[in-house]
Structure 1
Amino acid sequence: MAYMTDRKRAEGLGSAKSGTDHFWSMTKSSIGLLILVPLFIFTFGSALGSGYEQVVAYYSQPFPAIVAALTITVGWVHFKSGAQTMIEDYSHGLTRHLLIAGVTCISYAAIAAGLFALVRLAI
């Protein structure tokens, strides 16, 4: 019977050295969303129920357009990071890599589509 310390038994079986990065990424994006979502609701609520011309004029102003763009971007980046963590925890092999690539592509495509729609609305 070998007498090993807990550290010696766990050596080489530890983290893949990316968990801390995911944690801080999720923490930063959730703090950003904590600030951005109420601002987005406030700015979007002002335009809600208005006609098309009023909405275009409203989102031509810099503050509502910037808040909407930041909310779209930070929200989808937060989604991507959370979905990637979930996929890494519950799937293995080729499926894991394909799912992560798919989620990444969908997230960046949604960011691009949202920002494109916002630019088209603002210009």
Structure 2
Amino acid sequence: MTAIITLDDNNSVHASNLGMAGALEQIGLAISDVDPRLARWLIDKSNRTGFSMEFDLRGLSDDRRAAFWLGVDRANEKFRDVGPDCGPSVYVIRLFQEMRDIHGKAVGKQVSLIDLDEIWFDDDANTA
């Protein structure tokens, strides 16, 4: 079971669903004070089971992509003192951190916008 997140520059992070789910949950929790709607969507996305998980960060607005990367930074800082045997979620957070610094050639591909209202597991329908 794989998860693929396409980054801003058309590079992508490939990981196990388990590692990606944990990473997205931690990233969402880390930005709940900055962008509660994106945080809620990321946490919901982390709870979706299935054979494959995939989305393209370019489908987020510039502000939401900035919030996502802030979440990566915060989650990475949270696990800063965890050693090399860190587990799959922390590994994926660190992979996001490393991949952000690798710049590839962006392709002018049309990307569908991500609908943050597409929530599968809605514990609180009144959350903004």
**TM-score, with structure 2 as normaliser:** 0.30
Q: Which has the larger helix fraction?
A: 1
**TM-score, with structure 1 as normaliser:** 0.31
Q: Which has the larger strand fraction?
A: 2
Which structure ranks higher in relative contact order (CA pairs < 8 Å, sequence separation ≥ 6)? 2
